Amino acid sequence: MQKRKLGKSNLEVSALGLGCMGMSFSYGPPKDTKEMTALLHVAVERGITFFDTAEVYGPFTNEKLVGEALSPFRGKVAIATKFGFDLSGSDNRPGAPPVSSKPEQIKRAVEGSLDRLKVESIDLLYQHRVDPNVPIEDVAGAVKELIQAGKVKHFGMSEAAAKTIRRAHAVLPVTAVQSEYSLWWRKPEQEVIPTLEELGIGFVPYSPLGKGFLTGAIKEDAKFDSTDFRSKLPRFTPDALKTNQALIDLLGSIAKQKKATPAQIALAWLLAQKPWIVPIPGTTKLNRLEENIGGTAVQLTPDDLREIESASSKIKVEGARYPEAIEKMTGL
């Protein structure tokens, strides 16, 4: 597995990370702990050194799973986690928890994450969503204090707008920004990616396989369990899935030429965009983990990339990526 540095920081990780959310949260019922632990161990054996979780996944259960499973590999892997929601009383409250990045909330969240992850210092700490009620300078200042105290190594942001990233970076260097980015969600190309290039910040695309769609395994008649959050996403309605199949056809045609799979082409495309991009596809299946890792070996030539660009520019993706209320929580 090749390594990549996240921007100008000294945080070097595997070219492909592993998003762990789906093991405990959002994609149907939580998966078996023993099976997921075994999967995390295989990921390390296959060269993955970058793992992504958050306190809100569960809440708390995903951090516990990742912390326990990766405890034998301390010092050999980097674990990223996130703060940014008020989870007090979350068991009794319907819907998504409110965002909160008050400095005291951040410090509380970090203490909990350190305990669940079984580490003395968090490798990469993201603000999960920008809190409109707390100046980003105060957020960066709180994380700076945590870095000075040795509890955090690197500061990251998630789904933040370019101007917010600039303001935070002026207080504390941002190591990485995490946002959704793939062939069917390219908005970060407009402002975020140019800003990251200018400032020397790494980029960590989540949902690089379009929440599973870009694997080609989700057909237009797909049915999602009520515990699977895709059942509530406009982009996963039958009409949208039918229209968006054109993107799978494009990936499939390139995949045939390269003796690869659509998912591997989607990941190779992302890796070819910038040398400081590290996608974090999530999976709960060993065969998908192996398939995703195989994507790092696929070389797309400039001609391949031009062909993908030309063909994809003619495809209009149907359906919003999130319902309006959730999209409003992002800074993009």
pLDDT tens digits along 264-306 = 999 999 999 999 999 999 999 999 999 999 999 999 999 999 9
Q: What average pLDDT score do residues 4-30 get?
A: 95
Q: What average pLDDT score do residues 240-256 get?
A: 95
CA atoms of 211 and 204, how far apart (whole Å) = 15
Is 57 marked active-site?
A: yes
Tell me the pairing of strands 3-5 and 12-14: antiparallel
Does residue 234 have a cis bond before it (omega within 30 degrees)? no
List of long-range contacts for 66-72, beta carbons under 8 Å, 24+ apart: 66/20, 66/40, 66/117, 67/116, 67/117, 67/118, 67/119, 68/37, 68/118, 69/36, 69/37, 69/40, 69/41, 70/40, 70/44, 71/118
Burial (CB < 10 A; 0-12, 13-18, 19+), residue 107, is: middle
Give the class (CATH, top level) of 3-210+273-296.
alpha beta
The pTM is what?
Answer: 0.96
User: What does DSSP assign to residue 177?
Assistant: E
Instruction: Choose the catalytic residue: 57, 126, 181, 206.
Output: 57
Phi first, then psi, for residue 207 (nearest 5°) are 50, 45
CA atoms of 264 and 251, how far apart (whole Å) = 9
Give per-residue pLDDT as tens, 63-119. Answer: 999 999 999 999 999 999 999 999 987 555 556 799 999 999 999 999 999 999 999
At 330 the pLDDT is 77
In angstroms, the Cα distances linking 233 to 181, 203, 228, 237, 248 are 16, 24, 10, 7, 19
Share above pLDDT 90 across residues of the chain, in percent, rounded to a whole number: 91
Rg of the chain over Cα atoms, rounded to whole angstroms, equals: 19
Grade residue 210 by pLDDT with cuts at 50, 70 and 90.
very high
**How is the beta sheet containing 174-180 ordered, strand by strand?**
18-19, 50-52, 78-83, 124-127, 155-158, 174-180, 202-206
Domain ranges of the chain: 3-210+273-296
Contacts of 17 (CB under 8 A, 6+ apart): 48, 50, 51, 52, 80, 204, 278, 279, 280
Q: Which residue type occupies 184?
A: W
Q: What does the mean pLDDT of the chain come to?
A: 95
At 88 the pLDDT is 84
